[in-house]
Structure 1
Amino acid sequence: MTTMLGIQHYDAFLLACIALNLTPGLDTFYILARSGREGHAVGLGAALGINAGCVVHTLAAVLGLSALLMTSAVAFAVLKYLGAAYLAWIGLRMLLSRQHERRPTQTRGTGFAAAFRQGMLTNVLNPKVALFYLAFLPQFVSLHAVHPQLGLLVLGASFIGTGLSWSLVLAMAGGHIHRLLQRKPQVGQWMDRICGAVLLGFGLKLAFQQRS
């Protein structure tokens, strides 16, 4: 099967996936922030949303849409600034939120949906992630294979599988943090400020990134 799909060095690919997923970044922080503020159920929504974004990037890489970001400075800039603005908006909302506005028992369902939507958008609107998929996946697929596109899909699904597993661990860890913060509301309020500042920082960093 791997010969027909053109997949090469699959074991090395899986090791690289694990290493990349364990490396802290925006996705890691976002899952911990949402689950730490609202519990592991909302963290699960964030994890699923981020990995849904990875599905979009995988399909874009297979269809060649990601190549547009590499060749078009305008397309890259538009997506980059949209993503930066969205991260900055989330960060500012957390910075300006007040303790009495946080009511997890009343907003648990909407919290899950919001975390999924935000997680997916922060991932989809990051052009660096799209270029990563375009550059990383083809290294492990022979272009002379019978079905190289299917090979890219299998690799993308494998990357998402390892990423989702780690994301679920982060969501559960954030749930433990949430239970601790419930006993100390003032600490939770400071966590909102810190998380908001970090997300705002990620947005500013994305705004100044260049194509490589």
Structure 2
Amino acid sequence: MDILSASFVSFLAAAAIVCFTPGPDMLYVMSFGVSQGRRGGVSAAAGVAAGMAAHAVLCAFGVSLLVSRYPVLLSAFKVVGLVYLVYLGVSIIRDKSDMAVSTVRARQDYRRIAYRAMLVNLANPKVIVFYVAFLPQFTSTSGWPVPVQLLLLGAVFVAIGFAADAGVGLVSGALAERFSRDKGLARKVNIGCGVVMFALAGVLALDI
């Protein structure tokens, strides 16, 4: 594969369209940008990117293909993802703190946000199937070994996805921080973000 080839240019265009089209990951990042500020949004974006990177590695070495061929494993991933999203929704709604977060607490919370976002992305079976179906289309039998091509394509896709999600996290976080002193609004935001998690879980449940 040549990075100057028409195939790679087509991949960049397709990846940009996929990554900048609003979807569950972007909505997830937005919910944390609104509830935790810009750093919270970017942390969630980083977690999603970490999950995407793991999927890219799994795809490159065939693990994702193996999982996608066994419906039982896919169903297990769906159940895990559904339960975790419900848990997050309940946790967010029960949080009655305001939007203002101290520096000490923020560092710990941001790591937790990134970790949670990574788990949610890893537990999404649609991402597994997407990587198996999408990335191999842009590989070539000539040039670099196919696993290397898949890793490169995966890395580029992760970078584009992170840029899109981080942008959403920054914008939603900046808007939320303008109203950070309104404790009543903060409570409503938490409830709204919790409902978002329930909605994402509902979407996942429809495919089980």
User: Structure 1 length as normaliser, TM-score?
Assistant: 0.90
Task: Give CA-to-partner distance per residue, 1:47-67, whole Å, 9 cap, x none.
Answer: 111000001100110111111
One-letter amino acid of the counterpart of residue 85, structure 1: V
Query: Over the residues paired in the alignment, what is the CA RMSD in angstroms?
Result: 1.9
Structure 1 moving runs of 4+ over 2 Å: 142-146
C-alpha distance in 2 between matches for 1:9 and 1:139: 9
Are residue 104 (structure 1) and residue 101 (structure 2) matched?
Answer: yes
Contact 1:8 1:142 in 2 (8 A): no
- Name the CA distance, whole Å, in 2 between partners of 1:146 and 1:109: 41
Question: Residues 103 and 173 from structure 1, CA distance in 2 versus in 1: closer, same or farther, beyond 3 angstroms?
Answer: closer
Matched AA of 1:25: G
Q: Distance in 2 between matches of 1:140 and 1:130?
A: 17
CA distance in 1, matches of 2:203, 2:197: 10
What corresponds to 1:189 in structure 2?
187
The question of 1:88 aligning with 2:91 is answered: no
Aligned residues: 206
The answer to whether the 8 A contact 2:31-2:196 is kept is: no
Q: Percent identity?
A: 27
Question: Comparing 145-154 with 119-128, which one deviates more in the overlay?
Answer: 145-154
Deviation by residue 1:63-95 (Cα, 9 ceiling, x = unmatched):
111112221111111111001111111011122
Per-residue deviation, 1:145: 4.9
CA distance in 2, matches of 1:13, 1:65: 22
Deviations 1:131-181 (A, max 9, x none): 100100001112455511111111111111111111221121122122122
2-structure distance, mates of 1:157, 1:57: 10
Q: Kindly state the Cα deviation for residue 103 of structure 1 after the two structures are TM-superposed.
A: 5.6
State the alpha-carbon separation in 1 of the partners of residues 80 and 179 from structure 2. Answer: 32
List alignment gaps of at least 5 residues for structure 1: none
Give me the whole-angstrom Cα distance separating, in 2, the residues matched to 1:144 and 1:11.
17
After TM superposition, the score normalised by the length of structure 2 is 0.91
Letter in 2 for 1:34: F
What's the CA shift for 1:183? 3.0
The runs of 5 or more residues in structure 2 that have no matched partner are none
2:115 to 114, 117, 122: 117
Of 168, 188, 191, which aligns to 1:170? 168
Show the counterpart of 1:20.
18
Could you tell me how far apart the structure 2 residues matched to 1:161 and 1:143 are?
25
